[in-house]
Amino acid sequence: MDHDEALRQKATERYLLDELDPELKDQFEEHLFDCQDCALDVRAAAMFVEQSKIVLAEPAITSPVQKPAPAPSKAGWAWFRPAFAMPVLALLLAVVGYQNLVTYPNLRQPQVGPWASINVGTRGVTTTLIKARPGEGFNLLVSLPPEYSAYTFELHNPAGQLKWSRTLPASSLGDTPSIFVPGGLEQGSYRFVVSGSTGTGEKLSLGSYPIDLQIQQ
């Protein structure tokens, strides 16, 4: 069996669905040793089908008057074509890769939920309002001066106590990095304090910025 014949007979799909007769199955398996395209299609589609089975196996929430949905027939799996499985699998791998390649989890978390901007060095600082749900963290887009080797970020509660801090090298930051502050804070007035460290190790205060955190129930 050559590649054109495998495509014409939809061998990849039929192989995964166990619809090939023994002779064609043997021919296709021999073909997989020589055809990287078909082998890749089989692996990708098989992974996609297995993940889909896991999702479909999770119990569905139904009301007492609803009848359970009928189990999908074998033919229902025909839409798991390699041409469809490949882009879906690529998207899944991209999402997983993005999450696993984050060097600083508290620094570069996706900007979902509450966020605000703080411009370090601005005069006449106004209070930054952040509304968050109970236990929800928030992101601060901090505009930083470029002349320091490292930066320290601190959050002080209304009583002046240090509730959170993080020091990061300048090499890991851009001009306006996103700093993630974990959740679990109480509602109130906080101060976001930014310091910069010089190449000689000297630490200088760059500003203190009031934040009004409102917890929405």
Cβ neighbours for 111, distance < 8 A, ≥ 6 positions apart: 139, 178
pLDDT in tens, 99-110: 444 444 444 444
Q: Assess whether pLDDT exceeds 70 at residue 53.
A: no
pLDDT score recorded for residue 10: 81
The rounded distance, in Å, linking the Cα atoms of 38 and 183 is 48
Q: Assess whether pLDDT exceeds 80 at residue 168.
A: yes
The rounded distance, in Å, linking the Cα atoms of 144 and 195 is 10
C-beta of residue 142 within 8 angstroms of C-beta of residue 153? yes
Indicate the pTM of the whole model. Answer: 0.49
pLDDT score recorded for residue 196: 94
Average pLDDT over residues 203-210: 92
Average pLDDT over residues 129-135: 93
